[in-house]
Structure 1
Amino acid sequence: MRKNSYVVITMILAAILLLAACGSDTDKTGSTGNKDTFKVGLEAGYAPFNWTQMDDSNGAVKIDGNAEYAGGYDVEIAKKIADALGKELVIVKTEWSGLPPALTSGKIDAIIAGMSPTDDRKESIDFSDNYYKSNLVMVVKKGGKYEGATSIQDFKGAKVTAQINTFHYSVIEQIDGVIQETAMDDFPAMRVALESGMIDGYVSERPEAISASAANENFAMVEFTEGFVASDDDIAVAVGLEKGSDLATEINEALAEISEEERQDIMDTAIMNQPAAQ
């Protein structure tokens, strides 16, 4: 009887171990372990790279677990990558500061959110090849004292901010005598602050600044002849990946298939389609 009990216990333990092995067998093609989906994290609040809308117009993708949809340049790039991978695209709306933790914890397979592959970020996550490159500009009030600025030093004494946890905020220190306001959570908050007069301007990339001025006739984009000093990685945009992700090669191959002309066309279309611009 005791011998039979040992046999039964041994069989149960073997079954448990087998099930555990199946459950922990992470799919090498992605951190979430799902072979059929490509889960992409973005904040859906950084037009024209990504935004939130209420329907699927202009190719927007439904946000996972949400009645809303995400559209924009990043979404279009994510769709092309998902197609190349042969997977279903799933958009996971995540706050900006929560994107790297979501990636490293396996909640998403990639970050496609207008994120620059800075040295600081490379310490915790990997990046694909760049899929966009832009210049740093400033968004200000149209008709205000800073609209005609040509140098960043023209903002001496101005109240300037940028998004939290971005290199945009760190470059403000390059302006002599600037009043560096507290970093803000996202671009919609900065637009509200600019409209209300809480700030005189915020640092952005050219596509977002075009988007802001298109969405609000009271805003203007300032491009500089004497601008911010930034590295190529700082002004580039790439796909964030978990360290050692096997998706890197396939994603780079997918990006290589998108010509520079097509990338610019996608961006121009995103700027035109952003909900606020309509």
Structure 2
Amino acid sequence: MRLNKILALALSAVMAASLAACGGSSSAVSSTASTASSAAGASAGAPDGDGDPTTLTVAMECAYAPYNWTQPTDANGAVQIRGASDYAYGYDVMMAKKIAEALGQDIQIVKLDWDSLIPAVMTGDVDCVIAGQSITSERAKQVDFSDPYYYASIVTLVKKDSLYASAASVADLAGATCTSQLGTIWYDICLPQIQDANILPAQETAPAMLVALDSGACDIVVTDRPTGQAALEAYPDFVMLEFGGGENDFQVSEEEINIGISMKQGNTALKDAINEVLATMTTDDYNAMMDEAISVQPLSQQ
């Protein structure tokens, strides 16, 4: 990010605070930022829970390969998880590191369960969430989103010996016993489109969803393509079905399959800074990073 834009954003935040009658703002606003690096940190948005504007604090599940996972070492550039001896890595960590480097900040990874991610942003415990979240209008009522940092199509996973292994459309999945991850469009939007489906309770995590399929508890699971690709590495007897995105496929809006970075509402400095970093990347860059994440994921994460 260009230094003059960083300084301009920081100065704008200071001026806005001085004009507000009851200016409740981050500690970065009240900082006297004597160096360019501290100005960069202040402009990046609300500091983490410790009030350190030099650190970008990022929340994720650390259990959602290939987007993010937990591992015991710092292999491949993994980042230590806050308050733990384990490390986090995956596509989301790779993206978080790229953004933090561009902003001149250190990075801190916070491991949270899926339902705690948005509340953590809203309370200011973390600066942002990079966790494979779809940019839905419902979530946008609570948080702001960056531009997409990945575009994920919908796929269906079945076992090779399943009656549904040759399905060529959503209609061919009729009557299937199915599940997916809690709080996702796969569960809330896609599964109800299957005629006469036996929809089981949602699974807490993506790995739990895949275990349900592997154990025979369900016939199919619906997920996104990166998760499906990663699952094939861990479960060789799985088959991934893709229905082409047309009328034979699950009907989802573009907002539901675009994956974004969420942050506290009104944090335009951080949003603009992240979007500037994303603007330097292409879809091919995203796909190359995802392929790399899939290639190094630990199979135990599935």
Residue in 2 that maps onto 1:240: 262
Tell me if 1:224 matches 2:243. yes
C-alpha offsets along residues 120-171 of structure 1, whole Å, 9 cap, x if unaligned?
A: 0000000000011021011111222112111111111111111111111122
Residue in 2 that maps onto 1:30: 45
Give the 3-state SS of the residue equivalent to 2:166 in structure 1: coil
Query: Which amino acid is the alignment partner of residue 266 of structure 2?
Result: G
Cα 1:276–1:25, aligned 2, differ >3 Å: closer, same or farther? closer
Tell me if 1:274 matches 2:292. no
CA distance in 1, matches of 2:122, 2:300: 35
C-alpha offsets along residues 51-109 of structure 1, whole Å, 9 cap, x if unaligned?
A: 11111111211111111111111111111110111110100001000000111111100
- Structure 2 runs not aligned, ≥5 long: 1-23, 30-43
Deviates more, 1:214-223 or 1:244-253: 214-223
Cα 1:25–1:262, aligned 2, differ >3 Å: closer, same or farther? closer
Corresponding residue pairs, total: 257
CA distance in 2, matches of 1:75, 1:142: 32
Residue in 1 that maps onto 2:137: 119
Query: Which amino acid is the alignment partner of residue 284 of structure 2?
Result: E
Tell me if 1:83 matches 2:108. no
Query: Which amino acid is the alignment partner of residue 212 of structure 1?
Result: A
Residue in 2 that maps onto 1:161: 179
Cα 1:124–1:91, aligned 2, differ >3 Å: closer, same or farther? same
Q: Which one of the candidate residues 115, 133, 136 is aligned to 2:154? A: 136
Give the 3-state SS of the residue equivalent to 1:137 in structure 2: strand
Q: Cα RMSD between the aligned structures?
A: 1.8
CA distance in 2, matches of 1:144, 1:200: 7
Q: How does 1:199-210 map to 2 (within 5 A)?
A: 199-210=218-229
Give the 3-state SS of the residue equivalent to 1:264 in structure 2: helix
1:211/1:277 contact within 8 Å kept: no
Query: Which amino acid is the alignment partner of residue 82 of structure 2?
Result: D
| Structure 1 consecutive aligned stretches of length 4 or more whose deviation exceeds 4 Å | none
1:61/1:75 contact within 8 Å kept: yes
Query: Which amino acid is the alignment partner of residue 264 of structure 2?
Result: E
Deviates more, 1:113-122 or 1:259-268: 259-268
Cα 1:25–1:160, aligned 2, differ >3 Å: closer, same or farther? closer
Query: Which amino acid is the alignment partner of residue 136 of structure 1?
Result: I
Q: How does 1:37-116 map to 2 (within 5 A)?
A: 37-116=55-134
| TM-score, with structure 2 as normaliser | 0.82
Q: Shift of residue 260 of structure 1?
A: 2.2
Residue in 1 that maps onto 2:202: 183
Q: Shift of residue 186 of structure 1?
A: 0.6
| TM-score, with structure 1 as normaliser | 0.89
Q: Shift of residue 39 of structure 1?
A: 0.3
Residue in 2 that maps onto 1:252: 275
2:175/2:194 contact within 8 Å kept: no
Q: Shift of residue 277 of structure 1?
A: 8.0
1:149/1:222 contact within 8 Å kept: yes
Identical pairs, percent: 42
2:157/2:239 contact within 8 Å kept: yes
2:88/2:109 contact within 8 Å kept: yes
- Structure 1 runs not aligned, ≥5 long: 1-22
Query: Which amino acid is the alignment partner of residue 128 of structure 1?
Result: S
CA distance in 1, matches of 2:102, 2:26: 24
Query: Which amino acid is the alignment partner of residue 261 of structure 1?
Result: D
Cα 1:249–1:268, aligned 2, differ >3 Å: closer, same or farther? same
Q: Shift of residue 24 of structure 1?
A: 7.4
Q: Shift of residue 30 of structure 1?
A: 2.6
Query: Which amino acid is the alignment partner of residue 101 of structure 1?
Result: P
Residue in 2 that maps onto 1:9: none
Tell me if 1:214 matches 2:233. yes
CA distance in 2, matches of 1:181, 1:106: 34
2:149/2:260 contact within 8 Å kept: yes
